[in-house]
Amino acid sequence: MQLAICSDFQKRLFMPAAKPASKPTIKPQAKPQADLSLRRQPSQARAQQTMQTLFKAAAQILDREGEGGLTTNKVAAAAGFSIGTLYQYFPSKEVLVRAMAARGQEMVLQELGRYLSELETLPNVRELDGRELLGQAIRILVRGFATGKGLSQSLIHLCWTLEKPDETASAVRQVADRLAIFFERIDHPALQMPSPAQLFVLTRSVIGTLRSASLEKSPLLGSPAFEDALVQMAWALLARPPALQAAGLALGARPIR
């Protein structure tokens, strides 16, 4: 499976990725069976564009007709390609959806990384409200992995039903590792440097809650109460004791604008 995402998230999801650097020509080899993975690796701009067009068509069908209406034949027709062209890239609907999920997950992690990096460069980051810092990060995760402000909720739900545990674990570890670096760099007076155990519990609790809410199609998704509960949990785990926050309060901590 494949964590506020900015308003152009979905637009960027369907944009072709940057063209990779050219590689030296190698002797062609027999192609291995690829029943459970991408059949063709998109190394050229045209192939990238084809994949993004297929992604967009699949997302539109899923939103319009639901999971039961999503088929490879419909995706190919809506994208303007033959079914043979689709199968050159995706041998099944499940592989197509997993590829979309991987792209969405990558963008969520990038968005979280950009947010944390921007904070790390702020000279007054220690003066900002620590709880709000956490809240912004939590909202990125919520919108990317549950409420669907970039990917649709229906697509996120389908991605979770097809998840591979090792892929989910890898994404969660990346979040935990990046947060560890962030807390160490900002040394915020209201936020303690979490231990590995605290980061493990925090990240698995948040992502696990989002997974359950998406799979259950919970009516809580998108509600302020849902996000507030996640922020409260993170704050309870990471906030310094009041006595140790005094220095930060003296600096005039203020909300993020």
Say if residue 14's pLDDT is above 50: no
Q: Are residues 85 and 208 in the same domain?
A: no
Q: What is the CATH number of the domain that holds 82?
A: 1.10.10
Show the domain range for 123.
Answer: 100-250
Whether 7 is covered by a domain: the verdict is: no
Residue 119: CATH number of its domain: 1.10.357
Indicate the range of 27-31, 35-39, 131-135 predicted with least confidence.
27-31
- What whole-number distance in Å separates Cα of residue 221 and Cα of residue 250? 37
Contact yes or no for 83/76 (Cβ under 8 A) = yes
Cα atoms in the Cβ-side hemisphere of radius 13 Å centred on 60: 14
- Do residue 123 and residue 181 come from a single domain? yes
CA distances from 43 to 12, 19, 32, 103, 254 (A): 19, 7, 18, 15, 47
pLDDT at residue 23 is higher than 50: no
pLDDT, mean of residues 149-176 = 86
Are 210 and 141 in contact by the 8 Å Cβ rule? The answer is yes
Number of domains the chain is built from: 2
Q: What is the mean pLDDT of residues 109-120?
A: 97
Spatial separation of the C-alpha atoms in residues 141 and 2, rounded to whole Å: 11
CA nearest neighbour of 140 among 161, 118, 166: 118
Report which of residues 66 and 126 the model is more confident about: 126
Asked if residue 81 belongs to a domain, the reply is yes
23: which residues sit within 8 A by CB, 6+ positions away?
Answer: none
Q: Is the pLDDT of residue 3 over 50?
A: no
Do residues 113 and 226 both lie within one domain?
yes
Whether residue 58 is predicted with pLDDT greater than 60 in this model: the reply is yes
What distance in Å separates the CA atoms of residue 215 and residue 19, rounded to the nearest whole number?
35
Task: Check residue 104 and give its pLDDT.
Answer: 85
Question: What pLDDT is stored for residue 163 in this prediction?
Answer: 87
Q: What is the pLDDT of residue 79?
A: 96
pLDDT at 5 over 50: no
